């Protein structure tokens, strides 16, 4: 999520392919280094929508379709 723009695709790839995985890891780390928060949307059995916050690429489920980055929350 980019303020003023909506979502922007940062990187795409198949984590099963080593080259793609390296690209995804680099993009992931860059976002976290910039202080962004990362969430993985999920659909539970029964169709319930959930989200999981992740702080390490290893925490991203291998079958995750996407990781959404957004600015960190602050007291308003």
Partner 1 sequence: MSAFAVASLSIVVVVLVAVAFGPDLLARARRRPRRMPRPTRTRLPDPGRELRAERKAEQLMRSVVGEDDFEAYRALGFLHAYGTAERGEVTPSYGYLIYPHKPIVSYDVETGELLNEHCVSFPDHTEKEHPERLPDADDVLARWMALRGDERGLIRAANMHLPGRQLDPGHVRRDIVRMSEWIGRSSPASHGHADIA
- Residues that bind partner 1 in the complex, under the rule CB under 8 A: 1-7, 34-35, 37, 39, 41, 43, 47-53, 68, 70-76
In angstroms, the CA 64 to CA 42 distance is: 8
Q: How far is the CB of 7 from partner 1 (least distance, A)?
A: 5
Nearer to partner 1, 17 or 29 (CB): 29
Give the sheet arrangement for strand 49-54, strand by strand.
49-54, 37-43, 68-70
Nearer to partner 1, 18 or 75 (CB): 75
Residue with tokens 């990362």: 38
């Amino acid at each position: 999520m980019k303020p003023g723009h909506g979502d922007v695709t940062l990187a795409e790839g198949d984590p099963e392919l080593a080259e793609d995985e390296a690209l995804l890891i680099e993009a992931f780390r860059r976002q976290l280094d910039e202080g962004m928060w990362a969430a993985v949307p999920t659909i539970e059995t029964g169709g319930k929508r959930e989200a999981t916050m992740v702080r390490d690429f290893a925490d991203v489920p291998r079958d995750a379709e996407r990781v959404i980055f957004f600015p960190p929350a602050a007291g308003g």
